[in-house]
Chains A and B, each alone.
Chain A
Amino acid sequence: MSEIKKDLLYTKDHEWVRKGDSVTSVVVGITDFAQAALGDVTFLQLPPVGTVFKRHDIVGSVESVKAVSDIFAPLSGTVSKINETLVADPAPLNTDPFGTAWLFELEVTNENEFKDLLTPDAYATVAQ
């Protein structure tokens, strides 16, 4: 059983979203299920700060030896921060996907989209 944190929201693409410091900012990462499916992560590619995305756009990718997974924008917005330390060494994605291995922060442009994110229980049925 993969770990699912109760204080986060999720997407069906196995990403988590946490409300950030301000009302319009969120932090995004990949879930325990995702990292387990990938195996040992070898490379991470994130977009430059300032890039604007629509919900569901591909923003980057996570690579392991045997697979590549796209990272999607869970909400529409602008990338305000990326985890540079993680790009340099992506290993924490396997060990701490909900904590130090956050991927990027997003300044959200359409608050209506929040309602389409999955609750922990809803995600639990996806992450089987």
Chain B
Amino acid sequence: MGSTQWPLRTALLSEISREGHEAFSLPKNRAFPEVPQPKKGRKARAALPELSELEVVRHFTLLSQLNYSIDGGMYPLGSCTMKYNPRINEHTASMPEFVHLHPRTPDHLVQGALELMYNLENALAEISGFSRVTLQPAAGAQGEYAGIRMIRACLQARGNARRKILIPESAHGTNGATAAICGYEVVNIPAQVNGLTNLAQIEQLTREGDVAGIMITNPNTLGLFEGDIKKLCDLIHEREGLVYCDGANLNAMLGITRPGDAGVDVMHFNMHKTFTTPHGGGGPGCGAAGVSKTLIPFLPYPTVEKSPANSELFMLDNNRPQSIGKVKDYFGHFLMMVRAYTYITELGNDGIRKVGEDAVLLANYVRMRLKDHYQIAFDQACMHEVVFTDKKQNANGVKTLDIAKRLIDLGFHPPTVYFPLIVPGALMIEPTETECLDTVEKFCKAMIQIAEEAKEPDAFQRHFANTPKEMPYARINETKAAKDLILNWKDLSHSPGGPSQDNR
């Protein structure tokens, strides 16, 4: 990461700024007549920095060198599906005829965009076994929100609104937060010994008749396929509830099985996981949602339809009286949809199947290579990710966090740590299918080396204290950040350890 001949850090834009520097190139005026000054003008000019273009380019180039990225190395992050972001996606998403399209342009002038959305929806529906798909949600969490809202709307329409949602303890944090902001009371389902949901337990919890539904993740957050999924869906439906499935782990199922077939009513897609839209350092995502026939009337509006007058034409349908409304303005992250569509088109049906297979194969490779070195949470064939605990290493004073930070020194981003919460000291590993076996093996070797180091006497002091040591940045003090709470460069009077003027 980063060449040592370059300065390793860069000052803040506010520190590089010099009065009179400029990097913009705008017409001086357009020969328009002068406009009177605003009556309530801004009192002081916005104190934005002033830099030359070279300073800006250099600043961000140097910053980029401090980032780990998929382009630079493997991310074995469980549940994140950090697969390669194909560049052809960037090419298609930057076509000017997509980029400069205003979202309120009349339908007949944006037929290409509508057709693309229509085709993408159909492809996703086919991949997941749902009847219809909405592309409106901005990210997974919003897709989740739309899903629970549709469940709520459906039950209300039936005249049988209920107050509770069941969520397994192993679920992702967004599940509980989403249920809460939809006005539901969350009932936590305690985890079972084998990590899978227990039908008898669910049967008991739904007996009262006040359960609107269940939010499950399949494969679950331990990387295991919920074999009872169809029975679970049948049970919930019998009790007049609906089933939401968190689609974060869809990668494991591509071409192998479909949640819609098992009876799931709604599932959100993480396009930025399964369908390679880029993570961009934390967003934007793209969170479509697939629904069963039951929930179609409640989809957010507008939906993309073929024109009733002419099936060659596409239109946006705002006339959806039972719709939950709009979870975000306009139609969703269109330019991300172009990327996902490109990817699915490139894979095709044969490629999609290979994605699911290879993802599962590589995760099981990691499982077999590491299970003698790390305690595995559940010793059975996994899907696309595998979960270990730090129990063996902890006995010698080395914890999951230490393993993670040490791994950075060995050239890898750490796996997902401390999730799911039901596994103490969890290490969740998902290699993804875009990594070749050599890379995955290198990762396994690094993990094995760490396990060996953790066995040594005084292991923590010898290998794990103060890691990472090889990076431009040593262990970062997160406690100090929370205590000092400096969130704006305006608060900086003096910043200790900032780069010297020479390094600007």
Q: Chain A residues in contact with chain B, CB under 8 A?
A: 39-40, 42-43, 63-66
A72 to chain B, nearest CB (A): 18
**Given A42-B479, A63-B482, 11 extra CB contacts under 8 A:** A39-B479, A40-B479, A42-B482, A42-B483, A43-B482, A64-B479, A65-B478, A65-B479, A65-B481, A65-B482, A66-B418
Interface size on B, residues (CB 8 A): 6
A sample of 13 cross-chain residue pairs with beta-carbon separation below 8 angstroms, ordered by A number, consists of: A39-B479, A40-B479, A42-B479, A42-B482, A42-B483, A43-B482, A63-B482, A64-B479, A65-B478, A65-B479, A65-B481, A65-B482, A66-B418
CB distance from A104 to the nearest CB of B (A): 22
Contacts of B481 in A (CB 8 A): 65
Q: Which residues of A contact B483 (CB under 8 A)?
A: 42
Interface hits, B458-504 → A, CB 8 Å:
478-479, 481-483
Report the Cα distance A66→B483, complex, angstroms. Answer: 13
C-alpha gap A42/B483 in the complex (Å):
6
Chain B interfacial positions (CB closer than 8 Å to A): 418, 478-479, 481-483
Expressed in whole angstroms, the minimum distance between the Cβ of B105 and any Cβ of chain A is: 46
**Interface SS of B by simple majority:** helix
Specify which chain B residues have a CB less than 8 angstroms from the CB of A63 in the assembled complex. Answer: 482
A42–B485 alpha-carbon span in the complex (Å): 10
> With the chains together, A74 CA to B482 CA distance in Å?
29
- State how many angstroms separate the Cβ of A73 from the closest Cβ of chain B: 22
- A40 to B481 alpha-carbon distance, docked (Å): 12
Residues of B within 8 A of A39 (CB): 479
Q: Which residues from A are CB-within-8-Å of B482?
A: 42-43, 63, 65
Cα(A66)–Cα(B482), bound, Å: 10
The residue in chain A whose Cβ has the minimal distance to the Cβ of B401 is: A66
Residues in B neighbouring A42, C-beta threshold 8 A: 479, 482-483
Q: In this complex, what residue of A is CB-closest to B483?
A: A42
Taking CB as reference atom, which chain B residue is nearest A40?
B479
Q: How far is the CB of B186 from chain A (nearest CB, A)?
A: 15
Chain B residues positioned under 8 Å from A64 (CB to CB): 479
Once bound together, how far apart are the Cα atoms of A40 and B418, in whole Å?
17
A64 and B418 CA atoms in complex are apart in Å by 16
User: For residue B479, which residues in chain A have a CB less than 8 angstroms away from its CB?
Assistant: 39-40, 42, 64-65
Give 10 nearest A-B pairs by CB, closest first.
A42-B482, A40-B479, A65-B478, A42-B483, A65-B479, A65-B482, A42-B479, A43-B482, A63-B482, A64-B479
Within the assembled complex, what's the spacing in Å between the Cα atoms of A64 and B482? 8
Cα distance, A63 to B485, chains bound together (Å): 14
- B303–chain A nearest beta-carbon distance, Å: 40
Give CA–CA (A42, B479) in the complex, Å. 7
Q: Nearest Cβ in chain A — how far from B501, in angstroms?
A: 32
Q: How far is the CA of A40 from the CA of B482 in the complex (A)?
A: 10
B19 to chain A, nearest CB (A): 38
Q: How far is the CB of A92 from chain B (nearest CB, A)?
A: 13
Most chain-B CB neighbours within 10 Å: which of A39, A42, A63? Answer: A42
Nearest Cβ distance between residue B395 and chain A, in whole angstroms?
A: 16
Instruction: Give B421 Cβ to nearest chain A Cβ, in Å.
Output: 10
Write the chain B residue with the least CB distance to A43: B482
Cα distance A43–B481 in the bound complex, in angstroms? 12
The CA of A43 and the CA of B482, in the complex, are separated in Å by: 8
Complex Cα distance A43/B478, Å? 13
In the assembly, what is the distance between CA of A63 and CA of B418, in Å?
Answer: 18
Given the complex of chains A and B, what is the CA–CA distance between A1 and B400 in angstroms? 20
